[in-house]
Amino acid sequence: MTGFLLLEDGTSFPGRSVGADGIALGEAVFTTAMSGYQEVVTDPSFAEQLVCFTAPMIGNYGVSPARCESDRPHARAVLMRQAGGEAWTDWLAEQGIVALDELDTRALVLHLRERGAMRAAAVAGECARGDVLKRVRAQPPMAGRNLVAGVSTQESWAAGTGGPRIAVLDYGCKRSIVARLLAAASLDRRRRRARRWP
């Protein structure tokens, strides 16, 4: 299925739909990460964004629940030069994420670098570009928006046992941060036990 990315300045980038059908509205941004594509999509700091990956192939080592940085995806769309595997594209479709490949990601990144992040729409399927552009321009800009409420936890939770007690204010905290804190606490416990030995 065909698709395209349309920026608020009217610039369009054709692509091929490899995820969910529909239109994803948000802010077009890019990441230079060479790996961790599933982590990026589930990272709360990418909430309401259409993420362009600069690496030439995305998805080549599959997906795993252990790689999720939160309990759900936060990016609204994924933009790639080449999707590298069915497990990845199937996961994107299952999660309801619009995804485009065969996109000229280099041209898009250069455009965003020169003009800055901007409102956009990733479209999977046929749509009138004029209508989509009106919807893009009707979106509120990201600057000054309060997205914290949408990514914060509503209830307290605990992880790990023993060791120092560390409080984390979860305003969109990644799971890997908690894992690193737990690993540091475990290392601290082992060091303290080692110091007690004669």
pLDDT tens per residue across span 148-175: 666 667 787 778 777 677 777 777 777 6
User: Who contacts 159 (Cβ-Cβ below 8 Å, separation ≥6)?
Assistant: 178, 182
- Which range, of 26-40, 82-96, 132-146, 165-179, averages the lowest pLDDT? 165-179
- Which range, of 114-118, 129-133, 142-146, averages the lowest pLDDT? 142-146
Separation between Cα atoms, residue 106 and residue 80, nearest integer Å: 10
Half-sphere exposure of 35 (CA within 13 A, CB side): 5
The model's pTM: 0.83
Q: Does position 52 have pLDDT exceeding 60, yes or no?
A: yes
The confidence score (pLDDT) of residue 168 equals 78
Q: What is the mean pLDDT of residues 35-39?
A: 93
> When comparing pLDDT for 183 and 127, which is higher?
127
Q: How confident is the model at residue 118 (pLDDT cuts 50, 70, 90)?
A: very high
What backbone torsions phi and psi does residue 51 show, to the nearest 5 degrees? -95, 120
Q: Does position 40 have pLDDT exceeding 80, yes or no?
A: yes
Q: What is the mean pLDDT of residues 110-137?
A: 95
Separation between Cα atoms, residue 72 and residue 69, nearest integer Å: 8
What backbone torsions phi and psi does residue 105 show, to the nearest 5 degrees? -65, -30
CB 63 within 8 A of CB 87: yes
- Which range, of 37-41, 84-88, 165-169, averages the lowest pLDDT? 165-169
The confidence score (pLDDT) of residue 189 equals 62
